[in-house]
Amino acid sequence: MRHVKWAVVVCGVVAVALGVGAVQGQQLSGEYKIGVLEPLTGNLAVQGKLHLEGYEIMRDLINERFGGVMGKKLVFVTGDAVDPTVAASEATRLATREGVKIITGTFASTLCGAASEAASRQNAIYWETSCVDPRLTRRGLKNVFRTEIDGTGFGWYNIEFIAKHLAHRLGKKPNELRVAFLSEDSSYGQSVTEAARQRAKQEFGMQEVGAEFYTFTTNDLTPIILKLKNANPDVLHHIARDQDAILFWRQAREQNFQVKAVVHAGATGYGNPGFGKAFGNDANGPFALLEPGPGFIIAGMRPEGQRIERAFREAVKAKTGSDVLAGGHQLAGGGLWILKLALDAAKTDDLDKFRAAVLAMDLPVGSSINGWGVKFDETGQNSNPRVQHYMLQWQNGSLVTVWPEEFTTNRAKWIPLGAWDQRK
């Protein structure tokens, strides 16, 4: 009897090993080519190259360990989308001359509209993984899908954080909070801010004490800071582009502007590593809504999500030598993984069948990279509550994950923000 038990155990181990080996070493039959369109030169090139690197890392992972796509080896043909005009012409080239049926990219809100229009004219599927311009999925284009939330989703999450975490830490009910909204005036800034304003007022009854938009290349933000001092908000919801966050933070300190919390969304402004480089420990305090950063508890994800998350992190570390993932890696890698799942489910790139498979996907939070889930709506937009986002805070010169607390080992500090020289 004992020998029988051992035989069963050994057979089981062998079967599992063979099964894993079958996926990892699966023979891929042929190649499946998609177009990757990113800005690889010009001002957007830094983020564009990071995204391309994220796609490449995920592509290699899919081919080597996860059975390719539809049983085939995934290969890329790339295009350089330096500006909207070139993005459109490159999307057309990828579809017509390279013959791809799926184009993914382009990360920038200034590029995705033009690229997706061009892809649509060629009846190609456009799979956006980063750009957050809400208009992308509001044009009735059946070929357009977006894995990341849009700008309104960022506003939704920011207010979620303010209402459900900051309010009680500040000893107030959400409807007692005084919130000022400040934003650079791009479509990104405006869409995030307007969505946040709407939700803050309609769902939580927060008190809006100011709303101001500015051009991000402005050279003096002192007049705005003086107005904010008069308004005396508890929370400043500030969507900044880049150098404007640095200018604001310096001038706010000069004017001794005291606010209890500053909340931002996205990889620009306070979400850009350059903010920490500029100020070191003096950057401590502001929050930025991003993908998961240091402190993220992978074990909090579902088993299938943990598996791909760990594999991706190992692959990124092998490629870059860093334990900290860049936002471009996370968005591109996460988006490409969901595309693989969709193609495997559809077993074809025929637009109607592919679309039906995408809309049928229903994965809970924690199933995929970044702790994301999947549930696309009819417009081709992945849903806000499924695309789990995280609040990071500048602590001792680094951005660390602080919310939702069940997903992180870190806790938010300096609530309310103390005096400028006491945030150490």
Long-range contacts of 219-227 (CB under 8 A, 24+ apart): 219/247, 220/247, 220/251, 221/247, 221/248, 221/251, 221/252, 222/251, 222/255, 224/182, 224/248, 225/251, 225/252, 225/255, 225/257, 226/255
Decide whether 39 or 68 has the Cβ nearer to another protein: 39
Tokens of 33: 């080519």
Alpha helix ranges (H) inside 108-150: 109-121
Considering only 123, 202, 217, 409, the residue that binds another protein (CB under 8 A) is 217
Name beta bridge partners: 31.
73
**Closer CB to another protein, 217 or 348, in the complex:** 217
Nearest C-alpha neighbor of 69 from the set 102, 108, 46: 102
CB of 107 or CB of 145, closer to another protein:
107
Closer by beta carbon to another protein, 228 or else 235: 228
**223 part of the interface to another protein, by CB under 8 A:** yes
Told to check if 219 binds another protein by CB under 8 A, we report yes
Strand locations in 129-199, DSSP E? 144-146, 178-184
Per-residue contact track with another protein, 66 to 85, x per CB under 8 A? --------------------
CB of 357 to another protein, least distance (A): 38
Report yes or no: 315 and 419 within 8 Å, Cβ to Cβ.
no
- Beta pairing class for 125-128 and 31-38: unpaired
Q: Which is nearer to another protein, 224 or 391 (CB)?
A: 224
Contacts with another protein, 351-370, as mask; x by CB under 8 A: --------------------
Q: Give the E-state strand segments of 9-48 in sequence order.
A: 31-38
Alpha-carbon span 99 to 115, nearest angstrom: 16
Peptide bond into 223 cis (omega under 30): no
Instruction: Lay out the site mask for another protein across 268-297 (x = CB under 8 A, - = otherwise).
Output: ----x-x--xxxx-x---------------
For the bound state, the minimum distance from the C-beta of residue 192 to another protein, rounded and expressed in Å, comes to: 16
Nearer to another protein, 185 or 208 (CB): 185
Per-residue mark of binding to another protein, 306-345 (x: CB under 8 A): ----------------------------------------
Does residue 107 belong to the site contacting another protein (CB under 8 A)? Answer: no
Minimum CB separation from another protein for residue 50, in Å?
11
Paired tokens of 299: 């074990």
Measured from the CB atom, is 48 or 153 closer to another protein?
Answer: 48
Backbone angles phi, psi at 356, to 5 degrees: -60, -40
**The two structure tokens encoding residue 343:** 């193609």
Applying CB under 8 A, which part among 18-26, 245-253, 297-305, 351-359 lies near another protein? 245-253
Q: Which residues bind another protein (CB under 8 A)?
A: 42-46, 185, 212-215, 217-224, 226-227, 230, 242-243, 246-247, 250-251, 253-256, 272, 274, 277-280, 282
